[in-house]
Amino acid sequence: MSQNNQTYPFPLLPLPYARDALSPNISEYTLYFHHEKHLKTYVDNLNKALKNYPEFQAWNLEELIVHNNLLPSEIQTPVKHNAGGVYNHNLYFYSMKTPSKTSIMPVQNTNQVNTPGNDFLNLINRSFGNFIEFKTKLKEAALQVFGSGYAWLVSNSRGELSIVTTANQDTPLTLGLIPLLPIDVWEHAYYLDYQNRRNDYIDKWFDLINWDFVYYLYNRQFQLYTK
């Protein structure tokens, strides 16, 4: 999944798994509304904002987000919100997998149900001390997001990992960072299943992370990806 290939009219990308594939961690009902209602609204509104501006219809999502200030003032805000919404949601959905799927990469014994392969696990260990500490810090960040937003695992241009948060549909792209893994903590991502228990949703989300995809995103930037 490359969002750099997408331009106007932006599509509603299909889910990379069956709608019930994340159950019981995320229910089919939640996934339906999140993908086919919330994300579709962002897609439709982004296309609507760009409809009468053919000179910007060749821009991909990242260009619309990073160079938003170059757009006509009357569409800067709707494009910012909706391009961010499409970008963030696509990455969120594609960075998850069914919890029963095993990684194609070798995994060290970390006493965790769902861990990265050894190469990316070593990167995490260097950045955060160990995998458990990484999970603790990412969970803390996700819990501290006030209102709606995301917590992210990101990389800088030197390949160094860190955790950041963004509000609403802002993205780490505007901070000069490479988004690798988002957890969506808007209430629509979990409220039907967990009500106000964001803590429980985060714990279950960790079991869904598609670490192969995260590692692919990392190495796509630095040409290190090997299987």
Residue ranges of the annotated binding site for Mn(2+) are 34, 89, 184, 188
**Helices assigned H by DSSP within 130-209:** 131-144, 191-194, 198-206
Lateral strand order in the sheet of 178-184: 161-167, 149-155, 178-184
Whether the CB-CB separation of 96 and 22 falls below 8 Å is answered with yes
Strand, helix or coil for residue 42: helix
Q: DSSP letter string over 34-56?
A: IIIIIIHHHHHHHHHHHTT-GGG
Whether the CB-CB separation of 135 and 206 falls below 8 Å is answered with yes
Distance CA 178, CA 96 (A): 18
Strand, helix or coil for residue 181: strand
Strand, helix or coil for residue 195: coil
Q: How many CB atoms lie within 10 A of CB 68?
A: 16
Within 8 A by CB and 6+ apart from 222, the residues are 159
Annotated binding residues, written as ranges, equal: 34, 89, 184, 188
Whether the CB-CB separation of 79 and 50 falls below 8 Å is answered with yes
Helix or strand (DSSP H, E) at 89 = helix 73-94
